[in-house]
Structure formats: structure tokens, C-alpha cells
Amino acid sequence: MSKSRVIVSLDFPDAKQAIEFCHKIDPIHCKIKIGKELFTAEGPKLIEKLRTLDFEIFLDLKYHDIPNTVANACRVAADLDVWMLNIHAAGGRHMMEAAYESLTKSRRSKNPPLLIAVTLLTSISSDDLLELGITKSIEDQVLLLSKLAKSSGLDGVVCSGIEASKLRYELGKDFCLVTPGIRLDDLNSDDQKRIMSPHDAIKAGSNYLVIGRPITGASKPADILKSINKSISSLD
């Protein structure tokens, strides 16, 4: 297993490009994430191919549906031998508890994948929350959903680095915090609004960093990975 805190987001439209990229990096230096676009295009067979390259895989499909549907989806995902998968905390306690319980029925029940919940997408702003009729601040809403996820049996949550410090304090050292919206100093924020650098996110309490374009768009992605790992190694 990789000890790296970096999860590279494979933001590619097809398996060919994803696999070509993965041959440029080392599974010792990162884990990888497969999201909706790539999984919709290529399906479970891609996961099988990438596992033969020894990568630990975060299946990022953000399940959000009635409890029984989400539970069945999580069980099937676990059977794919992924390292981590996620659901939406906004689906509520019953949905999250059903997802957690489903992993005990999967083929990997003795060594289930980490199950984490999305709190608020890092593209969400305070104005977006108000349009949705949510009057709590982003920080308070993330904390509320994170506490609900923990009490429902989940291993952790997806949160921005901005919220990580408070969540670490409130939810303890064993609760897993996965942080997207990571940007290197010389790159813009793209479509993310709540962003942070790798060093600052780990210092704030994040366990894992999801990084896409700064690595996948680099001419020498392996060098970028080594640089990021080095920048956060002193915080381990």
C-alpha cells in the first residue's frame, strides 16, 4: 500500500488516456481517483486494468439516492476491490447507515473500503447555499453533515482544507478528511472556490489530498508528485 497522502484525480475522457498517464507515475507515490465521467465511459473494466498496475483506487461516484439503492451500489463497488468510495451526506442518516451496513455484506466484508461522505462540494459558495435555502454558514453546514456522517458509522468526509482544522478538532484524530480543491501556488483555481495548497491542507488536518490538473496536466507528472510529497513529508 502507498503511504502517500496524494490522490491523483484521473480527469480523462477514456481509458486509453487514463492508462497512458498511469504508466508515467508510480503507485508508491500516490493513489488514484476515478470519477463520474471516466467511470461512465469505461465502467468496472477500467478499475480491473488499473488495479493490475497496483494502484489503490478511490471510486468517486458520490452516491445519493434512496437507502436501498445506495446500499446496493456501495456493496457492488466494494466488490470491485476499490480502496475508498463515497456517498453524499445530504442523503441523510438512514441512507448513510444503509451504505455502511452494506459493506458488511460485500465480498470484502473483512477488509472493506473506506466509506466517506461528501459534505459540500468545493465549488459551493455562501451565495449558492442561500439559493438552496440553507442559512447556515459553509463551515457550520459542513460540521453538521460531518457529525452526522461520523455518527452513521462512516470513516470520514470530503471537505475543503478551509474546514479541515475545525473538523479535526471536533471529530478527533481517527476521522478521515479527504480534501479536493488543492492547487499549487502557480496555478489558478479553475472551477474550485474553496481551495488550499498541499502543505497548508495537511497542516490544517487533512489526511488525503485530491489533486487533478496540476499533476495530470504537467509535462513531468512524476516530478510534480515527488515535489508535493516532499513538501508535506515533514508534517507526517
Which residue ranges make up each domain of the chain? 6-230
Quick one: pLDDT at residue 195?
61
Q: Which residues, including other chains, have CB under 8 Å from residue 125's CB and lie 6 or more apart?
A: 138, 193
First to last CA, the chain: 16
Residue 125 C-beta-side C-alpha neighbours within 13 Å: 4
- The answer to whether the CB of 216 falls within 8 A of the CB of 11 is yes
Tell me the CATH number for domain 6-230.
3.20.20.70
- The answer to whether the CB of 108 falls within 8 A of the CB of 134 is no
For the entire predicted model, the pTM comes to: 0.92
Sequence letter at residue 155: D
Quick one: pLDDT at residue 181?
81
- The answer to whether the CB of 158 falls within 8 A of the CB of 179 is yes
Residue 33 appears among annotated catalytic residues: no
What is the C-alpha to C-alpha distance for residues 142 and 122, in angstroms, rounded to an integer? 11
Pairing of strands 57-63, 156-158: unpaired
What is the C-alpha to C-alpha distance for residues 73 and 177, in angstroms, rounded to an integer? 22
Quick one: pLDDT at residue 189?
45
Quick one: pLDDT at residue 187?
43
* pLDDT, tens digit only, all 236 positions of the chain: 678 999 999 999 999 999 999 999 999 999 999 999 999 999 999 999 999 999 999 999 999 999 999 999 999 999 999 999 999 999 999 999 999 999 988 888 889 999 999 999 888 999 999 999 999 999 999 999 999 999 999 999 999 888 999 999 999 999 999 999 887 764 444 555 446 789 999 999 999 999 999 999 999 999 999 999 998 987 76
Using CA atoms, how far residue 25 sits from 30, 211, 230, in Å, is 8, 14, 15
Neighbour tally for 46: CB within 10 Å = 19
**Cell 508534517 sits on residue:** 235
Active-site hit among 49, 62, 193, 226: 62
Quick one: pLDDT at residue 188?
45
Q: Coil, helix or strand for 96?
A: helix
Neighbour tally for 70: CB within 10 Å = 21
**Cell 476491490 sits on residue:** 81
What is the C-alpha to C-alpha distance for residues 47 and 54, in angstroms, rounded to an integer? 11
